[in-house]
Each structure stands twice: as structure tokens, then as C-alpha cells.
Structure 1
């Protein structure tokens, strides 16, 4: 499609309630995360859960509007079910993340894993897939599976460099042996990130291969939902929050660089889509 041409809207759902629900949930995510940063640590669990649930709903609605019902169902099954399976194996065996345990502070659990953790995989796996598809298209017009899965996995796993220190400091889970760790990101073993990359590659590959074709004329059309914006918001707000609120300035720098390797080019891609 040439630059400046108005995109064709192939899916009438874009004119319906699904994108509205997605954007309302996206706004709730932003509000909850702002309130989180202004709340005492012992009172943050409510905004944590609200933010994750709202983000997960936004991602599912975004998948529905952007790709259709098949993609939405796959997202829940692959990211939610797959995330729960990976976390269950991880908690009980130490593979593939390393030996860790949840402390019971995140609410309802299934086989030792908080339900909200499975929803966290749902909430970020979808925008990570969009990142992978978008950036892979820059270098290869055919967007091969390995390239989309690799970029998308980095987009998802690099976010955990922000997430894990925050959640460990909040007391939601703990590691049996946190060393060796990334420079400046103490308390989280390298095995954790290796596990994230492994699981993320599998999730993004399955979603990319199985979700089908987008139902919008322009894949990053923001009328379908807020997933691209929420990914960029997560990046920017995480950089700021770790530097200004969580007393982890080195995490802000290290994670900012690692996630920025995909977040910054993705921001350019979103901007170019609306240039």
C-alpha cells in the first residue's frame, strides 16, 4: 500500500464494540499503572491484578478485531494455556526458568501458579507477535517464521528484564539461586531469561503460523485496538518507573537497552504506518 492512501477496512467488527472495549481496557491499564506507582508497596496488589486483567482483555479484543476469532482463541490457548503449563513445569521442576516459587500474594492459584501470571503471558504475547511481524517485514518481505519468532520472542522476553526485578522486590516470587545475573539486574538468574526466550519463541511461532491473515487493510491499524500502543507504553513507563519509583536505575538502563532494541524500531514502524 502506498504511503498516504487510506487503508481498506476489511472487517466490519472495527466499526463495532470490540475495538471500543479494547481501547477502554487499554486506558484502564494506563490508569492502573499510574496509580500503582503512586501507591504504597503494600497496597499495590489490587492495581497489579487490575492492570494485568485489563491488558489481557485488551490484547484478546485486539486479536479478535485485527485477525478474527481464530486468533483470539489461539492467543488464550497458546499464551494463556502455554504460559500456565510452562510456569507449572517451572515451579515444580525448575525447568526452563530455574528454581523459584510463588509466595501466594498474587491471589488465586492453579497447580501452584497464580492465574494472573498466565494472564500476563496473554497480555504481552500478542503485542510481541505484532512487533515480530512488523520488524520482520523490514528485512524480509516474506516474513519467515524463524525471523518473526526470533524478534517476537526478544520483544516478549526482554520485557521480563523489567518485570522480574519489580515482582521479586514486591515479594510475589523468589529465586532459590539468583546468580549469575545480568549486570545491574541482581536477584534474577540468567536461566530465567533463557527460559523466557525458549517459551516465547514457541508461543510466537505458533501464533504467527496459525493466526491467519489480518482482517484490516493495514496490520498496525490502531482502530483495531491498542496493542501496539500498549507495548510502547509498557516500554516507556517501565524505563521511567524503575528509574524514578522502584529505586532500580540500573534495571532502567539495562532493560531499557535490551527491550529498546525492538521497542524503538517498532515505534518507528507505528509512526510510519500513520505518516
Structure 2
């Protein structure tokens, strides 16, 4: 567990740098998108931790690295990565469907993918030292707020006409989901065997 706590911020940084490294069109819109997502998500998370109103009552533990206002510095970059990867998945789906998926479906689909990701991570977040809700599992408002934030971020992404890289972003996203599900399965088996 201590090893995981030590490498988690580094692995998130690696994933984000990999995505940005492969992104093709670095223009003013893309840089503004990065700034908006990182800044707004960090501030919303910080207010959420302080007030307990936005996502429910929770606190960040130590696995996500250094914190300011009890919020990990990396959290904004994590929202950026999730928005980018889920947009890449929906863009891939649009291309595979011969363009029959319109922008509204891409936006809503991307937001739902992000909520699914959060639901998956919530299964193991406390055991992995990332965060913990007072009620041991997040309340409904956590997922509602995730959906609202993700929806807004996907609207911004679409409005700026950003073209995500496909396969690398999708592969990184799938690897993360599989990783968290494998940890959850391991924890469940360990619980049964004990």
C-alpha cells in the first residue's frame, strides 16, 4: 500500500503527460481548455472538501500527493485526463457509427463515461488511500455533481472543437478501469478468504 501511495501521483502525471505529448493541435483553444478544466475542477473540489455540500462529506487521504486546501494538487489534472479520454472514446464511437452520433450524444455519453469511472474508483478509493466519504460510500449527490461537471467540461471540449487523439487515450482509460476493477476483485477475494 505504501508503494502505491508513493507512485500514484507519478503514474497520474505520466498518464497526463502521455496524453498531452500525443495531442496533435496545440492552439489557444486547447490551452484555454486545459486551464479552465484544471483550475475550475481544483477549486470545486477544494470547496467540496471544505463545505461537504457539493459531493457530500469527504476528505482526501495521502495517496494523491501534496495538498493545498486539503485538496491534492493533481486533482485538476485528473479531471482533465478523464474529460479528454472520455471525449476520445465518444469520438471513436462516432467514427465507428459512420457519424450517426451527434454532438449532444457525444457530450452526454462522455459525461456518463466519467460517472462510470468515478463509480468504479469509489469501490477502492478508501482502501487505496485516495479519499474517503464520512458515510463510507459516496452519496447520490456525488454522482449527480460528477455528471453535471463532466457535462459542462464536455460542452467546453465540444465548443472548442478539440480533436482528441484516439487509441492512446482510450487505451489509457481502459487500463485504469481494469486496474481499479482488479484491485476491487483482489480486495473482495481477500475479504472472503479472511
Which range, TM-score by smaller chain? 0.7 to 0.9
Match status 1:247 vs 2:192 = no
TM-score under structure 2 length normalisation: 0.82
2:78 equivalent in structure 1 = 120
Asked which structure has the greater CA Rg, the reply is 1
Are the counterparts in 1 of residues 37 and 80 from structure 2 also a CA contact under 8 Å? yes
Match status 1:191 vs 2:132 = no
**Counterpart selection for 1:237 from 169, 179, 183:** 179
The whole-number CA distance in structure 1 between the counterparts of 2:150 and 2:179 is 22
2:20 equivalent in structure 1 = 60
**What is the CA-CA distance between 1:76 and the residue it aligns to?**
2.1
**What is the CA-CA distance between 1:163 and the residue it aligns to?**
1.5
TM-score under structure 1 length normalisation: 0.60
Count of residue pairs brought into register by the alignment: 190
**Counterpart selection for 1:129 from 87, 102, 108:** 87
The whole-number CA distance in structure 1 between the counterparts of 2:114 and 2:134 is 24
1:200 equivalent in structure 2 = 150
Q: Which moved more, 1:91-100 or 1:131-140?
A: 131-140
Are the counterparts in 2 of residues 145 and 209 from structure 1 also a CA contact under 8 Å? no
Q: Which moved more, 1:233-242 or 1:82-91?
A: 233-242
Gaps of 5+ in 1: 1-40, 179-186, 250-275
SS in 2 for 1:95: coil
**What is the CA-CA distance between 1:46 and the residue it aligns to?**
1.6
Match status 1:157 vs 2:115 = yes
**What is the CA-CA distance between 1:175 and the residue it aligns to?**
1.3
**What is the CA-CA distance between 1:118 and the residue it aligns to?**
1.9
Query: Segments of 4+ in structure 1 off by > 6 A?
Result: none
**Counterpart selection for 2:10 from 25, 50, 54:** 50
Gaps of 5+ in 2: none
**What is the CA-CA distance between 1:209 and the residue it aligns to?**
1.2
The whole-number CA distance in structure 1 between the counterparts of 2:76 and 2:121 is 14
SS in 2 for 1:153: helix
The whole-number CA distance in structure 1 between the counterparts of 2:116 and 2:189 is 16
**What is the CA-CA distance between 1:200 and the residue it aligns to?**
0.7
**1:106 to 1:230, Cα distance in 2 relative to 1, 3 A:** closer
Are the counterparts in 1 of residues 6 and 63 from structure 2 also a CA contact under 8 Å? no
**1:200 to 1:98, Cα distance in 2 relative to 1, 3 A:** same
